[in-house]
Amino acid sequence: MLTHAHFDHIGAAKRLHRDIGCPVHVHPDDAYIARHPYRYAHERSRLLYPAMYPRAVPVLAGMAAAGALWVRGISDVVPYEGTGTLDVPGRPVVVETPGHTFGHCALNLPNADAVITGDALVTLDPYTGAEGPRIVAGAATANSEQALSSLGRLDATGARIVLPGHGAPFTGGIHSAVAIARTTGAS
């Protein structure tokens, strides 16, 4: 299950698909990025951020060391709709949260009182090194205004445990995480 198809979120997908034949699910609006993991819309230049935010350098270097610059795309994906419960282990409920990418979806796990927010809400922004609940910087976000507006859909899950794509889990509840992210705004 991909929340979205950025290169740092599909790393193992192609290998898992090839080696054990497991299907790779992604929202149709991110299928193009899944094929071309480095071709995605973003509001601001990716190159400026390490200079503007030195705290981001070790985070980005760690991602590069883990192979983030050499990810291969995957074209054999199974599209999923932006709503409903998925018939996969854990039975996640899809929460369409466009903005970071246009096909971004969070995965709500009501039985676990947890929501996988992907990059719709993170607790560490890899592009600024800033910590705490927030949307990802414009270096990797297609539309910050839309991303901020999608926070309402995360809020509606009411989940206690927030599992972001970057940074530590946040156990203070999604309501509080969304309130902080809204106050922090875009960067």
* Interaction residues for Zn ion, span 8-67 (CB under 5 A): 8
88 touches 25 (CB < 8 A): yes
The nearer residue to Zn ion, 119 or 155, going by C-beta atoms, is 119
Cα 156 from Cα 175, distance rounded (Å) = 8
Kindly state the smallest distance separating residue 63's Cβ from Zn ion, in Å: 9
Q: With contacts defined by CB under 5 A, name the span among 36-44, 66-74, 119-127, 143-151 that binds Zn ion.
A: 119-127
DSSP assigned state of 36: S
Element (H, E) at 1: none
User: Of the ranges 14-22, 34-42, 147-155, 164-172, which one interacts with Zn ion (CB under 5 A)?
Assistant: 164-172
For position 167 contacting Zn ion by CB under 5 A, the verdict is: no
Which CB atom, from 110 or from 132, has the smaller least distance to Zn ion? 132
Candidate segments 3-11, 14-22, 91-99, 156-164, binder of Zn ion by CB under 5 A:
3-11
Tell me whether residue 8 or residue 155 sits nearer to Zn ion (CB atom). 8
What percent of the chain is helix, strand and coil (3-state, nearest 5)? 35, 15, 50
Report the nearest approach of Zn ion to the CB of residue 95 (Å). Answer: 16
Select from 29, 119, 125, 155 the one that contacts Zn ion (CB under 5 A): 119
Total of chain residues touching Zn ion, rule CB under 5 A = 4
The smaller minimum CB distance to Zn ion, of residues 147 and 178, is found at 147
Amino acid at residue number 114: A
Which of 86, 74, 71, 149 shows the shortest CA–CA distance to 116? 86
- DSSP letter assigned to residue 105: E
| Rg from Cα positions in the chain | 15
In 24-157, which ranges are continuous DSSP H helix?
31-35, 48-52, 56-65, 144-155
Instruction: Mark the segment that binds Zn ion (CB under 5 A) among 45-53, 105-113, 117-125, 153-161.
Output: 117-125
Binding interface with Zn ion (CB under 5 A): 6, 8, 119, 165
